[in-house]
Chains A and B, each alone.
Chain A
Amino acid sequence: MSRKVAIIGARMTKFGNLIDKTLMDLLVEPSEILLDEYKIERKKVTSVYVSNLLGEISSRQTAVATALADYLGITDVAAERIENGPASGASAIRYAYMDIASGNSDLVLVAGAEKMRTAPTEVVTDLVSMMSHPEVEYPSGATMPSLGALFARLYMQKYDVKPEHLAMVAVKNHSNAMKNPYAQLKKEITVEQLLGPGSESFNPYVAEPLRLYDMSPMTDGGAALILADLDTALSYTKNPVIIEGIGESTDALALQDREDPTELKAVRLSAEKAYRMAGIKPEDVNVAEIHDAFTVLEIAISEEIGFFKRGEGKLAVERGTTKIDGEKPINTSGGLKARGHPLGATGLAQATEIVWQLQGLAEQRQVRNANIGFTVNMGGFGSNAVSIVYRRY
Chain B
Amino acid sequence: MKGYKCDSCGKVYTYKRKVCIKCGKTSFSEVDLGEEARLITYTVLYVVPAGIERSPLVLGIAEFKDGARLFGQVMTDKPQVGMKLKAQYGKLRTKDGKELNGYYFVPE
Q: List the interface of chain A (C-beta within 8 A of B).
A: 122, 125-126, 129, 135-137, 139-143, 145-146, 149-151, 153-154, 157, 204-210, 252, 254-257, 259, 261
**Which residues of B sit under 8 angstroms from A140, Cβ to Cβ?**
59, 71-73, 92-93, 102, 104
A256 to B102, CA, bound (A): 15
Q: How far is the CB of B22 from the nearest CB of chain A, in Å?
A: 7
Task: State whether A153 touches B70 (Cβ < 8 A).
Answer: no
**Which residues of A sit under 8 angstroms from B93, Cβ to Cβ?**
139-141
Contact with A along B27-69 (1 / 0, CB 8 A): 0000000000000111111111111100001011100000001
Given known A136-B15, A140-B72, contact A150–B47 (CB-CB < 8 A): no
Seed contacts A139-B92, A139-B102; 16 additional CB < 8 Å A-B pairs: A122-B49, A135-B15, A136-B15, A136-B102, A140-B92, A140-B93, A140-B104, A142-B71, A145-B43, A153-B42, A153-B81, A206-B46, A208-B44, A255-B61, A256-B14, A256-B71
A15 to B51, CA, bound (A): 31
Task: State whether A150 touches B46 (Cβ < 8 A).
Answer: no
Q: How far is the CB of A38 from the nearest CB of chain B, in Å?
A: 43
A281 to B2, CA, bound (A): 46
Given known A150-B42, A154-B41, A252-B21, contact A143–B47 (CB-CB < 8 A): yes
**Which residues of B sit under 8 angstroms from A153, Cβ to Cβ?**
41-43, 81
A259 to B73, CA, bound (A): 22
A207 to B41, CA, bound (A): 12
Residue of B nearest to A135 (CB): B15
Does B100 belong to the interface (CB within 8 Å)? yes
Task: State whether A261 touches B46 (Cβ < 8 A).
Answer: no
Task: State whether A143 touches B102 (Cβ < 8 A).
Answer: no
Residue of A nearest to B50 (CB): A122
Task: State whether A145 touches B47 (Cβ < 8 A).
Answer: yes
**Which residues of B sit under 8 angstroms from A141, Cβ to Cβ?**
45, 48-49, 51-52, 57, 59, 73, 92-93
Cβ-neighbour of B41 out of A210, A257, A261 (below 8 A): A261
Q: List the interface of chain B (C-beta within 8 A of A).
A: 13-15, 21-22, 40-52, 57, 59-61, 69-73, 81, 92-93, 95, 100-102, 104
**Which residues of A sit under 8 angstroms from B72, Cβ to Cβ?**
140
Most buried by A among B49, B81, B104: B49
Cβ-neighbour of B13 out of A149, A207, A257 (below 8 A): A257
Task: State whether A145 touches B45 (Cβ < 8 A).
Answer: yes
A377 to B104, CA, bound (A): 32
Q: How far is the CB of B20 from the nearest CB of chain A, in Å?
A: 10
Task: State whether A259 touches B44 (Cβ < 8 A).
Answer: no
Cβ-neighbour of A205 out of B13, B46, B95 (below 8 A): B46
A207 to B101, CA, bound (A): 23
Task: State whether A204 touches B49 (Cβ < 8 A).
Answer: no
Task: State whether B49 touches A157 (Cβ < 8 A).
Answer: no
Given known A150-B59, A257-B21, A261-B61, contact A143–B71 (CB-CB < 8 A): no
7 contacts between A and B (CB under 8 A): A122-B49, A125-B47, A126-B49, A135-B102, A141-B93, A146-B45, A207-B46
**Which residues of B sit under 8 angstroms from A137, Cβ to Cβ?**
71
A24 to B95, CA, bound (A): 31
Task: State whether B21 touches A143 (Cβ < 8 A).
Answer: no
A373 to B60, CA, bound (A): 37
Most buried by A among B13, B45, B48, B104: B45
Sort A-B residue pairs by CB-CB distance and give the 10 closest, nearest first.
A149-B43, A256-B69, A139-B100, A208-B44, A153-B41, A207-B43, A150-B41, A252-B21, A154-B41, A256-B71
Q: How far is the CB of A133 from the nearest CB of chain B, in Å?
A: 8
**Which residues of B sit under 8 angstroms from A257, Cβ to Cβ?**
13, 21, 69
Given known A139-B100, A150-B59, contact A254–B71 (CB-CB < 8 A): yes
**Which residues of B sit under 8 angstroms from A150, Cβ to Cβ?**
41-43, 59-61, 71
A255 to B48, CA, bound (A): 19
Residue of A nearest to B91 (CB): A139
**Which residues of A sit under 8 angstroms from B57, Cβ to Cβ?**
141
Task: State whether A136 touches B70 (Cβ < 8 A).
Answer: yes
A206 to B44, CA, bound (A): 8
**Which residues of A sit under 8 angstroms from B13, Cβ to Cβ?**
257
**Which residues of B sit under 8 angstroms from A136, Cβ to Cβ?**
14-15, 70-71, 102
Q: How far is the CB of A135 from the nearest CB of chain B, in Å?
A: 6
Task: State whether A208 touches B73 (Cβ < 8 A).
Answer: no
Q: How far is the CB of A323 from the nearest CB of chain B, in Å?
A: 30
Q: How far is the CB of A214 from the nearest CB of chain B, in Å?
A: 12
Q: How far is the CB of B29 from the nearest CB of chain A, in Å?
A: 18
A209 to B101, CA, bound (A): 27
**Which residues of B sit under 8 angstroms from A254, Cβ to Cβ?**
71
